[in-house]
Structure 1
């Protein structure tokens, strides 16, 4: 499992990545698994009846490919496609019986049987066959109590006399049958194996009576079950050579199975969902035994059962391959633990001790070092020789990080004498290093030693998303991406400037992506990105302060001067709509419209002047700014493109012009230079005073307006199902704006980590899960948003009143009791919010919001911001007949 280990031990908080999909994934998985199982049960049972030969039903290939495909798609709800495919490939790289041993506590069968069966059905339908072993402790206690028998324990072990053994056997058979039956109903072939696997001798007959110590494991029944296409469902009952049944602790039995089969995963399902740090109350994310075991046992909270469990797992893993690991997890999070980088419970593995070296002499084995360097794409391709790189390292100070076998090698250049920022020069990992999380461990070690760092990665690197997760910010140029963390604003500016202007800025390919074959899916290109938890917190406090102050005063006109607008990137739909509104604006006039594709053509739809498209370059913009010919610049450019234009404007001293950016480039700005321009939620006075305004995204505007009134009541992760017309895909031809492809169709895309998901989260100060789709209509967005709230904190009427009070007087927001329709918002300049459906438990409300992506989602909002920034009336130039009034 690939996950961040920061704070896993030593009293530090256990941090978990991808929290924005945690609750969503859990709910989607359990509900969709049930639906999937119901629809495939008949198909699977039919297969079982019709195919009488064991060969015909002995593998996943005998089941429908479409069923497996459906399950993979559903798994994508909790992680990226890359993650799911990566782990499926990993888990299917071994024989079926070596995938996993899953130990199920008896309480889970009683309390969470549907969820357990659903999770196991998911694994089964993607061709994975875990060996499932269950306990039955709570059921035994209940039956003994009903029969007036008081359970007795010595050293935590149940004394099992003949009467108790009778109850134990009965409970095991009943619970085994319950689980098998639940699985069969979901279309899963499951085989009860209640005896014949564990051979045992008496643990201490005089002391514990019929309690056994496993001394042998018979693999044949399990292998036969899997070979026939059935999940093996085992009890922990064992037998002596003479046939006497003995009771064996289920955890111990699971460990013996693991020693015999050497699986990739040993999973213990329990109610806590992991090991809890007794000092912080946080769940421990990862334990790397080779690094942490001795110190861990000294922790004050590691005692009693926790210490025993850790010791048992340590002893178990000492005899298994390093690829094996133990996961302690809640049943609801089983798929998330297995198929995502972040995991969900506590992951325990041996790991490797990490070794730091400050000179080449300290490596000892030069051949091992050369082998690691050969993973570097430049060295592998012959552009750079390993010998010449090593020669360079002899001349400059560096610090290297690696595990013992150098599955991962990182080299940080640290030339303090010349006042150079530390640079991560090489980060090379084998496939094993990625899958066993050595990469995260080493990066954590680097971060402890270096409080500030930068590195450069090729934009086609298939590990790109991992590098984004480690950075505070990034900047893209000419196919390469500059990353950094820990830098001050002036350091970032200088670093970007040098990277942006220098043709040989120590370009480097850090990753071993081609060699590892782990991250194989293409990664979305990104531009400047500076979103992190610190600034997310700042946004949160600002947003909370604003949302408690409803009905801000509207900005009336304080200016009647005619001012000039230059529009950079006027070819797209947003630019055309803005031109149309400026044409009707009482004061604004266009001075320039710039489009490389339309340069030289007459601007259509603008009647105030005869304007011809130009193709403005950086020098042209500097000249226009120097001459004071432009009062407000509007950047209607793709993401990652507008920075040179902004820099050109800024380079002119004493500039007074305003800048509105419609891209995502500055929505996460942390310098304080840019103000986020959503007037209905942000301080209008701040927008009015700002010189640089970042225009919000279309999806993000609708979602924020729909969620903001409930911020104080939210008790989980809001889930946003967004559908846009194809104008949102822009004018450049693609499948998302191809009418033939979209006919009778709905296309989901960017299923996780969409830029608007980050934007909504950062502005609201809470994590959201957002899944965008494109549909066959032209313009307009419909959001269906499920918002978990504190149980019974609000009635349906109170919820609607919150929205009506919050948006009273807002001319571009309408609150309706009914769920709004997207066809009614097309061509309208506002947001409509409605629905407000509260579930029967009164802990979740569903809100529907519609917005025109080209208008209030882009050009109308841009004009609002221009009006505020220039001192005009906020709604000047926005057609009255298209207002939506509440």
Structure 2
């Protein structure tokens, strides 16, 4: 009941990739300089002398494209730049943030300023004040939660606020951002109750000119919450209260409260609350027994504040390090609190105002706007449906129509129409709508017509909300579904989509979007919510074993119960916090006694794991043990077609409930990622060549020249230049010959692959890039760069693959792609967890940090 999930946009870590310059210039020129209607002049001059500043701003905008989709970023940049500078955002910074996250905060504010935005920053200093009062022997006194401020406390408070104010300004200046310290002069106040609270103020007015002057000068205004009476007496005001008063006067788009917790948390589940829609949830929320004390106070404060602001305003509770993601992506990062809109559900067409339906359909329905259909004909058609649910909001900015057949409850409901205005998308109303639909319909199918023009929803919107999808090769449309658990039912549903009885109709207004074939997004997770599975790791000493232990340690549904290593036997396992484990030395015949284990991961050298596999199968056949999931990280079973090859991006449907999985090699993963989208375009007479360079962790822990830093210093070491096992693996899996030339370099982890691809017909770099974008458009662990080549250092420690380059020879018959991945993570441990998740019935990405 607590909040619809916000749109899950592509979450990417920052890199220095470039984007289309014309787009960047358009955004920058639209953002800066900007004429302020209240100032009557531009904030800064912008001419040919500003080349370096322009370049920097373009780069920052390009970086934004990596934390969310381009459409999201452009949307929010335009949204934020559509108002006067002082109406962008008020950011309240807690005192603890200034102590613990000063550099992170300064960097985040600098980031915003580089795209021409001027947040108004107001900070507190509570922890610092308490510390100095304690040093001075002054015990803080509170009355009804308000700090009593006597003369001594006020004297110390003034010094603390000034010091913290200058500290933040200095930090911003070190980052190259001009900032103006404003410790006073903004808030006019009277005594709240002098006899009761002492020098505590109640704000009566805000001097906006002080803030506007700072922005006119091109500096960020940095405020404290100290106020003054008309006759000049300094008064102390709670920083949250001061921020709310400031927001009431300025009416900004965003009010941001920075805290170290990165949001509000559910008092029972402990999970972060993504969104609170006050109009829809407030009353029920306050009835929850866990909503009390600080949480209740904060929600009430936000409700009181937002009730007096335009509906476009919202509150975000977030940490400093996630500020840019909260502001520029639909998925956000902290807790978003907004008024939202009340949603209404109707079970009969005559219950709905037809003029309301007509307005949104004429504005947002592509079939109506193009003249293919009329509103009247659609409504007449809708009247013939046996059961109809119509969802809309108060102002008529969203509309969904779901139909079902009560005579045949086995058939899934169908989403026929989904419309949303741009304003609704900016305020995340479709998320709230979708949450309501999910509550009412456990199983749903919908179709997106490939011929439709782009709608207002983000291009990944449908894929993020579906369990699976299928592209119809005949017309390019895509059918989506969720909640279909039985594999036979999935097949039946897909058959209907491909032309069987009662084919699924495409919802009008939805965005065209296609995939290469059926994609099983979450493995039809069948494990019960909150269920746990036990994992045993054999071969835990190596680098991959350590990375796997780290991921399982943070996995919500997996526990590590056994770690086996001959060399470390008897020693305690370090870095695993769920329980105390000691290394053991398991032999094959020891496995049948470990009945609590649900899956064994065999992280052993090539040629070593077969006895373990044979023993498990022998024990199962004899009835001495239940069958277990076995995942082999060696090459022993990668050529055995009775085992499932564990590259989820290409083999998701087969991995669901698989019991024997061969984990791909690290080089083989990157090579296949580089070549799979181009298989239809390969020159059959000339094989692709993969030039690979790996960090020395890929050579394992056993000493050799390939993992000796002294040998590798200032060196690049080629090895096994023909017939490498990964060459055979990639050729076997792709069904075409591939040449592979491996090298090892002096860095520790990370792989770079430069892939030369002969083409069967002339193509352009845009053709190549488009093929990759479409192929991987819904993959969370594959990032296709807009421009430029990926760097090894940018992927070390990351769980995703980054693909770029996309150069084509002038003759158009040879393409070059560059792919980077971490050999220990996506090349090994991360991929193992993907496979475990799918085999055990969990969400494919459970436990894997996506960012």
Structure 2 length-normalised TM = 0.65
Once residues 673 and 139 of structure 1 are traced to their aligned partners in structure 2, the CA distance between those partners, rounded to angstroms, is 55
Shift of 1:184: 1.5
Partner of 1:667: 651
Once residues 502 and 798 of structure 2 are traced to their aligned partners in structure 1, the CA distance between those partners, rounded to angstroms, is 39
Partner of 1:413: 403
Partner of 1:35: none
**Secondary structure, counterpart of 2:252 in structure 1:** coil
- Pick aligned residue for 1:785 from 819, 822, 838: 822
Pairing 1:126-145 to 2, within 5 Å after superposition: 126-145=115-134
- Pick aligned residue for 1:725 from 749, 754, 770: 754
The farther-off stretch of 142-151 and 339-348 is: 142-151
Partner of 2:837: none
Partner of 2:781: 757
Pairing 1:331-350 to 2, within 5 Å after superposition: 331-350=320-339
- Pick aligned residue for 1:773 from 782, 799, 804: 804
Once residues 146 and 823 of structure 2 are traced to their aligned partners in structure 1, the CA distance between those partners, rounded to angstroms, is 47
**Secondary structure, counterpart of 2:439 in structure 1:** helix
Once residues 729 and 757 of structure 1 are traced to their aligned partners in structure 2, the CA distance between those partners, rounded to angstroms, is 26
**Secondary structure, counterpart of 1:667 in structure 2:** helix
Pairing 1:35-46 to 2, within 5 Å after superposition: none
Once residues 18 and 301 of structure 1 are traced to their aligned partners in structure 2, the CA distance between those partners, rounded to angstroms, is 27
Correspondence 1:425 to 2:454: no
The farther-off stretch of 293-302 and 465-474 is: 293-302
Unaligned runs of 5+ in 1: 1-6, 33-46, 48-52, 514-521, 557-587, 589-631, 633-656, 683-694, 711-718, 742-746, 761-765, 790-799, 807-886
- Pick aligned residue for 1:493 from 474, 491, 494: 491
Shift of 1:531: 1.8
Correspondence 1:553 to 2:610: yes
Once residues 415 and 738 of structure 1 are traced to their aligned partners in structure 2, the CA distance between those partners, rounded to angstroms, is 44
Partner of 1:444: 435
Contact 2:477 2:514 in 1 (8 A): no
Correspondence 1:370 to 2:370: no
Shift of 1:369: 1.3
Shift of 1:60: 7.8
Once residues 96 and 751 of structure 1 are traced to their aligned partners in structure 2, the CA distance between those partners, rounded to angstroms, is 41
Superposed CA offset, 1:819-858 (max 9, x none): xxxxxxxxxxxxxxxxxxxxxxxxxxxxxxxxxxxxxxxx
Once residues 662 and 553 of structure 1 are traced to their aligned partners in structure 2, the CA distance between those partners, rounded to angstroms, is 18
Partner of 1:466: 461
Once residues 293 and 658 of structure 1 are traced to their aligned partners in structure 2, the CA distance between those partners, rounded to angstroms, is 55
Cα 1:730–1:484 change in 2 (3 A) is: farther
Once residues 542 and 367 of structure 1 are traced to their aligned partners in structure 2, the CA distance between those partners, rounded to angstroms, is 58
Partner of 2:82: 93
Correspondence 1:480 to 2:468: no
Cα 1:128–1:297 change in 2 (3 A) is: same
The farther-off stretch of 503-512 and 463-472 is: 503-512
Partner of 2:44: 58
Pairing 1:561-710 to 2, within 5 Å after superposition: 667-669=651-653, 678=662, 697=673
Cα 1:154–1:756 change in 2 (3 A) is: closer
Shift of 1:493: 1.3
Partner of 2:521: 531
Shift of 1:492: 2.1
Cα 1:484–1:506 change in 2 (3 A) is: closer
Partner of 1:8: 2
Q: Which structure would you say has the larger Rg?
A: 1
Once residues 146 and 541 of structure 1 are traced to their aligned partners in structure 2, the CA distance between those partners, rounded to angstroms, is 51
**Secondary structure, counterpart of 1:109 in structure 2:** helix
Cα 1:74–1:680 change in 2 (3 A) is: closer
Cα 1:341–1:754 change in 2 (3 A) is: same
Contact 2:645 2:661 in 1 (8 A): no
Once residues 786 and 249 of structure 1 are traced to their aligned partners in structure 2, the CA distance between those partners, rounded to angstroms, is 51
**Secondary structure, counterpart of 2:358 in structure 1:** helix
Correspondence 1:284 to 2:279: no
Once residues 277 and 699 of structure 2 are traced to their aligned partners in structure 1, the CA distance between those partners, rounded to angstroms, is 41
Once residues 350 and 661 of structure 1 are traced to their aligned partners in structure 2, the CA distance between those partners, rounded to angstroms, is 48
Once residues 480 and 104 of structure 1 are traced to their aligned partners in structure 2, the CA distance between those partners, rounded to angstroms, is 48
Cα 1:81–1:418 change in 2 (3 A) is: same
Contact 1:547 1:708 in 2 (8 A): no
Once residues 175 and 330 of structure 2 are traced to their aligned partners in structure 1, the CA distance between those partners, rounded to angstroms, is 28
- Pick aligned residue for 1:319 from 308, 311, 329: 308
Contact 1:749 1:771 in 2 (8 A): no
Cα 1:138–1:769 change in 2 (3 A) is: same
Contact 1:664 1:697 in 2 (8 A): no
**Secondary structure, counterpart of 1:392 in structure 2:** helix
Contact 1:355 1:401 in 2 (8 A): yes
Cα 1:285–1:434 change in 2 (3 A) is: same
**Secondary structure, counterpart of 1:200 in structure 2:** strand
Contact 1:60 1:125 in 2 (8 A): no
Once residues 46 and 295 of structure 2 are traced to their aligned partners in structure 1, the CA distance between those partners, rounded to angstroms, is 38
Shift of 1:708: 14
Once residues 658 and 601 of structure 2 are traced to their aligned partners in structure 1, the CA distance between those partners, rounded to angstroms, is 20
- Pick aligned residue for 2:447 from 456, 459, 463: 456
Contact 1:378 1:509 in 2 (8 A): no
Partner of 1:403: 393
Pairing 1:844-883 to 2, within 5 Å after superposition: none
Partner of 1:850: none
**Secondary structure, counterpart of 1:725 in structure 2:** strand
Shift of 1:699: 8.4
Cα 1:528–1:275 change in 2 (3 A) is: same
Partner of 2:838: none
**Secondary structure, counterpart of 2:264 in structure 1:** coil
Shift of 1:408: 0.4
**Secondary structure, counterpart of 1:668 in structure 2:** helix
Partner of 1:295: 284
**Secondary structure, counterpart of 1:64 in structure 2:** helix
Contact 1:133 1:250 in 2 (8 A): yes
Shift of 1:490: 2.0
Once residues 665 and 246 of structure 1 are traced to their aligned partners in structure 2, the CA distance between those partners, rounded to angstroms, is 61
Aligned residues: 622
Shift of 1:500: 2.3
Shift of 1:378: 0.5
The farther-off stretch of 80-89 and 293-302 is: 80-89
Once residues 820 and 526 of structure 2 are traced to their aligned partners in structure 1, the CA distance between those partners, rounded to angstroms, is 23
Contact 2:448 2:513 in 1 (8 A): no
Shift of 1:665: 8.2
Shift of 1:494: 2.1
Partner of 1:210: 199
